[in-house]
Amino acid sequence: MSNVIDITSKEEFLFVEKYRPQIIEDTILPADIKATFTEFVKQGEIP
């Protein structure tokens, strides 16, 4: 038997999954940290 729950609709997501930022601009971070993350994405590598 498996304890894994199949989540098929967004209404069934956990609170943190439902409201997690989807893009860097949606995060609540200092501007310099956002810029750093944006550069990582542009370069295509994350240290």
Instruction: Write phi, then psi, for 26 (nearest 5 degrees).
Output: -80, -10
How far apart are alpha carbons 10 and 38 in whole angstroms?
27
Q: Does residue 45 or residue 13 have the better pLDDT? A: 45
Structure confidence at residue 17 (pLDDT): 83
Closest by Cα among 12, 9, 13, 37 to 23: 37
User: Residue 24 in contact with residue 41, Cβ under 8 Å?
Assistant: yes
Global pTM exceeds 0.75: no
Task: Say yes or no to pLDDT of 32 above 90.
Answer: yes
Alpha helices in 1-47 (DSSP H): 15-18, 31-43
* pLDDT score at 38: 94
